[in-house]
Amino acid sequence: MFILNANEPEELATYLQHQQWFAANETIVSLSKPGEGNMNCVLRIETESRSFIVKQSRGYVEKYPQVLAPEARVLTEGAFYKKISSSEKVQRAMPKLLGIDAVNNLIALEDLGKTNDYTVLYDLQQKLEVGELQQLVNYLNGLHQSFQKTVVDDELTNTEMRSLNYEHIFEYPFREENGFNLDSVQEGLQKLALSYKKNSDLKQKIERLGSLYLSKGKYLLQGDFYPGSWLKTNQGIKVIDPEFCFYGLREFDLGVLLAHLYLTQQEESAIDFVKENYYSFAELNTTILNGFIGCEIMRRLIGLAQLPLKMDLKTKATLLQFAENLILK
Protein backbone atom coordinates (compact mmCIF):
# COMPACT_ATOMS: atom_id res chain seq x y z
CA MET A 1 0.00 0.00 0.00
CA PHE A 2 1.27 3.47 -0.88
CA ILE A 3 1.67 5.66 2.22
CA LEU A 4 1.36 9.42 1.83
CA ASN A 5 4.44 11.05 3.34
CA ALA A 6 5.53 14.68 3.06
CA ASN A 7 9.15 13.62 3.57
CA GLU A 8 9.22 11.43 0.45
CA PRO A 9 8.51 13.77 -2.51
CA GLU A 10 10.16 11.55 -5.12
CA GLU A 11 8.05 8.52 -4.18
CA LEU A 12 4.96 10.75 -4.18
CA ALA A 13 5.74 12.11 -7.66
CA THR A 14 6.13 8.57 -8.99
CA TYR A 15 2.82 7.61 -7.42
CA LEU A 16 1.03 10.64 -8.90
CA GLN A 17 2.31 9.85 -12.37
CA HIS A 18 1.25 6.23 -11.98
CA GLN A 19 -2.24 7.47 -11.07
CA GLN A 20 -2.14 9.81 -14.08
CA TRP A 21 -2.74 12.75 -11.75
CA PHE A 22 0.57 14.23 -12.90
CA ALA A 23 1.71 15.13 -16.42
CA ALA A 24 4.92 13.43 -17.62
CA ASN A 25 7.00 16.59 -17.17
CA GLU A 26 5.37 17.74 -13.92
CA THR A 27 7.44 17.94 -10.76
CA ILE A 28 6.75 18.75 -7.13
CA VAL A 29 7.94 22.21 -6.10
CA SER A 30 6.48 22.25 -2.60
CA LEU A 31 4.63 20.03 -0.12
CA SER A 32 2.74 21.43 2.87
CA LYS A 33 -0.16 20.80 5.23
CA PRO A 34 -3.19 22.85 4.14
CA GLY A 35 -4.63 23.05 7.66
CA GLU A 36 -4.86 21.48 11.10
CA GLY A 37 -7.15 18.59 10.21
CA ASN A 38 -7.77 15.81 12.70
CA MET A 39 -8.93 12.74 10.81
CA ASN A 40 -6.72 12.21 7.75
CA CYS A 41 -3.26 12.77 6.28
CA VAL A 42 -3.69 15.78 3.98
CA LEU A 43 -1.06 17.46 1.80
CA ARG A 44 -1.03 20.43 -0.57
CA ILE A 45 1.04 19.61 -3.66
CA GLU A 46 2.44 22.57 -5.57
CA THR A 47 4.02 22.32 -9.01
CA GLU A 48 5.29 25.08 -11.29
CA SER A 49 1.85 25.48 -12.84
CA ARG A 50 -0.77 24.45 -10.26
CA SER A 51 -1.59 23.09 -6.84
CA PHE A 52 -4.01 20.47 -5.56
CA ILE A 53 -4.83 18.53 -2.40
CA VAL A 54 -4.31 14.83 -1.68
CA LYS A 55 -5.96 13.15 1.28
CA GLN A 56 -5.43 9.64 2.63
CA SER A 57 -7.33 7.84 5.37
CA ARG A 58 -5.75 5.22 7.59
CA GLY A 59 -7.05 2.85 10.23
CA TYR A 60 -6.75 5.51 12.90
CA VAL A 61 -7.33 9.23 13.48
CA GLU A 62 -4.30 11.11 12.16
CA LYS A 63 -4.13 13.55 15.09
CA TYR A 64 -4.85 10.83 17.67
CA PRO A 65 -3.24 7.57 16.41
CA GLN A 66 -4.52 5.71 19.47
CA VAL A 67 -8.11 6.30 18.26
CA LEU A 68 -9.15 3.71 15.68
CA ALA A 69 -11.19 4.85 12.66
CA PRO A 70 -12.57 3.24 9.48
CA GLU A 71 -9.62 2.81 7.11
CA ALA A 72 -11.52 3.46 3.86
CA ARG A 73 -13.48 6.47 5.09
CA VAL A 74 -11.99 8.82 2.51
CA LEU A 75 -13.60 6.73 -0.24
CA THR A 76 -17.02 7.62 1.13
CA GLU A 77 -15.96 11.25 1.08
CA GLY A 78 -14.94 10.78 -2.55
CA ALA A 79 -18.33 9.22 -3.33
CA PHE A 80 -19.99 12.27 -1.76
CA TYR A 81 -17.97 14.65 -3.94
CA LYS A 82 -18.83 12.60 -7.01
CA LYS A 83 -22.52 12.69 -6.04
CA ILE A 84 -22.75 16.44 -5.52
CA SER A 85 -20.93 17.24 -8.77
CA SER A 86 -24.29 16.97 -10.55
CA SER A 87 -25.57 20.08 -8.73
CA GLU A 88 -23.86 23.29 -9.82
CA LYS A 89 -25.27 25.10 -6.78
CA VAL A 90 -23.72 22.66 -4.32
CA GLN A 91 -20.53 21.97 -6.29
CA ARG A 92 -19.49 25.62 -6.46
CA ALA A 93 -19.47 25.71 -2.65
CA MET A 94 -17.08 22.74 -2.42
CA PRO A 95 -13.75 21.63 -3.94
CA LYS A 96 -13.95 19.54 -7.11
CA LEU A 97 -12.96 15.90 -6.99
CA LEU A 98 -9.93 15.22 -9.20
CA GLY A 99 -9.44 11.51 -8.58
CA ILE A 100 -10.09 8.49 -6.35
CA ASP A 101 -7.62 5.69 -5.59
CA ALA A 102 -9.68 2.95 -3.94
CA VAL A 103 -6.66 0.66 -3.51
CA ASN A 104 -4.72 3.12 -1.35
CA ASN A 105 -7.63 4.97 0.27
CA LEU A 106 -6.63 8.27 -1.27
CA ILE A 107 -8.44 11.08 -3.09
CA ALA A 108 -7.25 14.18 -4.97
CA LEU A 109 -9.15 17.45 -4.67
CA GLU A 110 -9.10 20.96 -6.09
CA ASP A 111 -7.02 23.34 -3.99
CA LEU A 112 -9.18 26.21 -2.74
CA GLY A 113 -6.14 28.30 -1.89
CA LYS A 114 -4.27 29.19 1.27
CA THR A 115 -7.30 30.20 3.26
CA ASN A 116 -8.47 30.13 6.86
CA ASP A 117 -11.43 28.30 8.31
CA TYR A 118 -13.99 29.85 10.65
CA THR A 119 -12.65 28.41 13.93
CA VAL A 120 -11.61 31.99 14.70
CA LEU A 121 -15.25 32.41 15.77
CA TYR A 122 -14.42 30.49 18.96
CA ASP A 123 -12.51 33.55 20.15
CA LEU A 124 -16.03 34.97 20.67
CA GLN A 125 -14.94 38.30 19.18
CA GLN A 126 -16.46 38.02 15.71
CA LYS A 127 -20.00 37.93 14.34
CA LEU A 128 -21.03 36.31 11.10
CA GLU A 129 -22.36 38.76 8.54
CA VAL A 130 -25.78 38.29 6.95
CA GLY A 131 -24.13 37.41 3.65
CA GLU A 132 -22.10 34.66 5.32
CA LEU A 133 -25.15 33.25 7.06
CA GLN A 134 -26.98 33.29 3.73
CA GLN A 135 -24.18 31.28 2.10
CA LEU A 136 -24.25 28.68 4.87
CA VAL A 137 -28.03 28.29 4.67
CA ASN A 138 -27.94 28.24 0.86
CA TYR A 139 -25.48 25.36 1.00
CA LEU A 140 -27.75 23.27 3.24
CA ASN A 141 -30.78 24.19 1.16
CA GLY A 142 -29.03 23.05 -2.01
CA LEU A 143 -27.64 19.86 -0.50
CA HIS A 144 -30.83 18.78 1.22
CA GLN A 145 -33.13 19.65 -1.72
CA SER A 146 -31.04 18.55 -4.68
CA PHE A 147 -30.36 15.03 -3.44
CA GLN A 148 -33.56 14.24 -1.57
CA LYS A 149 -34.75 10.65 -2.03
CA THR A 150 -38.33 9.44 -2.23
CA VAL A 151 -37.34 5.94 -1.06
CA VAL A 152 -34.79 5.31 1.67
CA ASP A 153 -31.99 2.98 0.52
CA ASP A 154 -28.42 1.99 1.40
CA GLU A 155 -26.54 4.66 -0.57
CA LEU A 156 -23.91 6.50 1.48
CA THR A 157 -24.97 4.97 4.78
CA ASN A 158 -21.40 5.56 6.06
CA THR A 159 -22.18 3.22 8.95
CA GLU A 160 -18.69 2.92 10.44
CA MET A 161 -18.04 6.65 10.56
CA ARG A 162 -21.48 7.31 11.98
CA SER A 163 -20.86 4.72 14.69
CA LEU A 164 -17.64 6.53 15.59
CA ASN A 165 -19.41 9.88 15.65
CA TYR A 166 -22.33 8.43 17.61
CA GLU A 167 -20.02 7.43 20.42
CA HIS A 168 -18.42 10.87 20.62
CA ILE A 169 -21.71 12.79 20.46
CA PHE A 170 -24.25 10.65 22.30
CA GLU A 171 -22.29 8.32 24.61
CA TYR A 172 -18.78 9.32 25.61
CA PRO A 173 -19.55 12.79 27.07
CA PHE A 174 -22.21 11.33 29.38
CA ARG A 175 -20.25 8.45 30.89
CA GLU A 176 -19.41 9.21 34.51
CA GLU A 177 -16.03 7.51 34.12
CA ASN A 178 -14.71 7.97 30.60
CA GLY A 179 -11.04 8.51 31.39
CA PHE A 180 -11.07 12.18 30.37
CA ASN A 181 -10.53 14.68 33.18
CA LEU A 182 -12.32 17.83 32.08
CA ASP A 183 -10.37 19.87 34.64
CA SER A 184 -7.41 19.47 32.26
CA VAL A 185 -9.43 21.65 29.86
CA GLN A 186 -10.71 24.11 32.45
CA GLU A 187 -10.66 23.95 36.23
CA GLY A 188 -14.13 23.18 37.56
CA LEU A 189 -15.49 21.72 34.32
CA GLN A 190 -15.39 18.13 35.63
CA LYS A 191 -17.68 18.98 38.56
CA LEU A 192 -19.94 21.04 36.31
CA ALA A 193 -20.39 18.11 33.93
CA LEU A 194 -21.16 15.56 36.66
CA SER A 195 -24.81 16.52 37.17
CA TYR A 196 -25.48 15.94 33.47
CA LYS A 197 -23.65 12.62 33.51
CA LYS A 198 -25.90 11.53 36.41
CA ASN A 199 -29.19 12.75 34.88
CA SER A 200 -30.99 9.57 33.80
CA ASP A 201 -33.87 11.43 32.12
CA LEU A 202 -31.42 13.47 30.06
CA LYS A 203 -29.40 10.40 29.10
CA GLN A 204 -32.55 8.56 28.04
CA LYS A 205 -33.50 11.40 25.69
CA ILE A 206 -29.95 11.54 24.32
CA GLU A 207 -30.02 7.79 23.68
CA ARG A 208 -33.22 8.27 21.67
CA LEU A 209 -31.64 11.11 19.67
CA GLY A 210 -28.63 8.89 19.03
CA SER A 211 -30.83 6.18 17.56
CA LEU A 212 -32.39 8.78 15.25
CA TYR A 213 -28.92 9.87 14.18
CA LEU A 214 -28.07 6.28 13.29
CA SER A 215 -31.29 5.78 11.33
CA LYS A 216 -31.44 6.04 7.55
CA GLY A 217 -33.13 9.02 5.97
CA LYS A 218 -34.08 10.78 2.74
CA TYR A 219 -31.68 13.73 2.89
CA LEU A 220 -28.00 13.89 1.98
CA LEU A 221 -26.10 15.47 4.88
CA GLN A 222 -22.65 16.99 5.09
CA GLY A 223 -22.53 15.42 8.55
CA ASP A 224 -20.14 17.81 10.34
CA PHE A 225 -21.38 21.28 9.43
CA TYR A 226 -19.41 23.41 11.88
CA PRO A 227 -16.90 26.31 11.55
CA GLY A 228 -13.93 23.97 11.04
CA SER A 229 -15.58 22.76 7.82
CA TRP A 230 -16.12 26.28 6.45
CA LEU A 231 -13.33 28.03 4.55
CA LYS A 232 -13.19 31.78 3.99
CA THR A 233 -12.12 32.30 0.36
CA ASN A 234 -12.17 35.14 -2.18
CA GLN A 235 -15.10 33.33 -3.81
CA GLY A 236 -17.11 33.17 -0.59
CA ILE A 237 -17.53 30.36 1.93
CA LYS A 238 -16.44 26.91 0.74
CA VAL A 239 -17.44 23.74 2.58
CA ILE A 240 -14.94 20.89 3.06
CA ASP A 241 -14.47 17.56 4.86
CA PRO A 242 -17.76 15.69 4.31
CA GLU A 243 -16.22 12.52 5.79
CA PHE A 244 -19.21 12.07 8.14
CA CYS A 245 -21.72 12.43 5.29
CA PHE A 246 -24.77 10.17 5.12
CA TYR A 247 -28.42 10.03 4.13
CA GLY A 248 -30.37 10.88 7.27
CA LEU A 249 -32.49 13.48 9.04
CA ARG A 250 -31.88 17.02 7.84
CA GLU A 251 -32.46 18.23 11.40
CA PHE A 252 -28.96 16.96 12.20
CA ASP A 253 -27.05 19.22 9.78
CA LEU A 254 -29.16 22.20 10.76
CA GLY A 255 -28.86 21.35 14.46
CA VAL A 256 -25.04 21.32 14.27
CA LEU A 257 -25.02 24.68 12.48
CA LEU A 258 -27.32 26.29 15.06
CA ALA A 259 -25.41 24.74 17.97
CA HIS A 260 -22.20 26.42 16.82
CA LEU A 261 -23.97 29.75 16.41
CA TYR A 262 -24.85 29.45 20.10
CA LEU A 263 -21.34 28.25 21.02
CA THR A 264 -19.76 31.23 19.24
CA GLN A 265 -22.27 33.59 20.88
CA GLN A 266 -23.77 34.91 17.67
CA GLU A 267 -26.67 37.34 17.95
CA GLU A 268 -30.18 35.94 18.32
CA SER A 269 -30.94 37.59 15.00
CA ALA A 270 -28.45 35.19 13.37
CA ILE A 271 -30.35 32.20 14.80
CA ASP A 272 -33.62 33.68 13.53
CA PHE A 273 -32.10 34.34 10.10
CA VAL A 274 -31.13 30.68 9.69
CA LYS A 275 -34.57 29.48 10.74
CA GLU A 276 -36.31 31.96 8.43
CA ASN A 277 -34.13 31.17 5.40
CA TYR A 278 -33.78 27.40 5.68
CA TYR A 279 -36.04 25.77 3.09
CA SER A 280 -39.25 24.35 4.58
CA PHE A 281 -38.18 25.02 8.17
CA ALA A 282 -41.83 24.66 9.19
CA GLU A 283 -41.75 21.01 8.04
CA LEU A 284 -38.95 20.07 10.45
CA ASN A 285 -39.51 18.23 13.72
CA THR A 286 -38.51 20.95 16.20
CA THR A 287 -38.22 18.48 19.09
CA ILE A 288 -35.60 16.49 17.17
CA LEU A 289 -33.91 19.67 15.91
CA ASN A 290 -33.65 21.13 19.41
CA GLY A 291 -32.38 17.80 20.70
CA PHE A 292 -29.58 17.72 18.14
CA ILE A 293 -28.69 21.35 18.94
CA GLY A 294 -28.49 20.49 22.63
CA CYS A 295 -26.41 17.34 22.10
CA GLU A 296 -23.89 19.16 19.91
CA ILE A 297 -23.49 21.97 22.45
CA MET A 298 -23.02 19.53 25.30
CA ARG A 299 -20.55 17.24 23.54
CA ARG A 300 -18.42 20.23 22.54
CA LEU A 301 -18.32 21.46 26.14
CA ILE A 302 -17.93 18.19 28.09
CA GLY A 303 -16.82 15.67 25.44
CA LEU A 304 -13.48 14.77 23.90
CA ALA A 305 -13.89 16.94 20.76
CA GLN A 306 -13.02 20.19 22.50
CA LEU A 307 -12.98 23.52 20.67
CA PRO A 308 -10.50 26.42 21.05
CA LEU A 309 -13.30 28.17 22.93
CA LYS A 310 -12.41 31.34 24.84
CA MET A 311 -15.28 30.98 27.32
CA ASP A 312 -15.39 31.23 31.12
CA LEU A 313 -16.87 28.50 33.29
CA LYS A 314 -19.96 30.51 34.21
CA THR A 315 -20.89 31.00 30.55
CA LYS A 316 -20.34 27.28 29.89
CA ALA A 317 -22.62 26.46 32.82
CA THR A 318 -25.35 28.66 31.31
CA LEU A 319 -24.92 27.05 27.89
CA LEU A 320 -25.04 23.54 29.35
CA GLN A 321 -28.28 24.34 31.15
CA PHE A 322 -29.70 25.81 27.93
CA ALA A 323 -28.68 22.67 26.03
CA GLU A 324 -30.24 20.39 28.62
CA ASN A 325 -33.51 22.30 28.40
CA LEU A 326 -33.50 21.97 24.60
CA ILE A 327 -33.10 18.20 24.88
CA LEU A 328 -35.65 17.65 27.65
CA LYS A 329 -38.45 19.91 26.48
Mean pLDDT, each 10-residue run in order, the chain (329 residues)? 91 94 91 84 95 95 85 96 97 98 97 94 98 98 97 96 96 96 98 97 98 98 97 96 97 98 98 97 98 98 96 98 97
- Check: CB of residue 152 under 8 Å from CB of residue 247: yes
Residue 101, strand partner residues: 106
Whether residue 141 is contained in a domain is answered as yes
User: Among 77, 110, 143, where does a domain finish?
Assistant: 110
131 shares its domain with 80: no
Secondary structure (3-state) at 314: helix
**Residue 146 sits in a domain of what CATH number?**
3.90.1200.10
- Which run of H or of E encompasses 18? helix 9-18
293 shares its domain with 170: yes
20 shares its domain with 104: yes
- pLDDT score recorded for residue 85: 98
User: Among 83, 110, 137, where does a domain finish?
Assistant: 110
66 shares its domain with 140: no
127 shares its domain with 156: yes
181 shares its domain with 303: yes
- pLDDT score recorded for residue 153: 96
89 shares its domain with 234: no
Number of domains in the chain: 2
- Where in the sequence is the domain holding 18, given as residue range(s)? 9-110
- pLDDT score recorded for residue 68: 86
Global pTM? Answer: 0.95
User: Among 53, 80, 110, where does a domain finish?
Assistant: 110
- Check: CB of residue 81 under 8 Å from CB of residue 238: no
- pLDDT score recorded for residue 62: 85
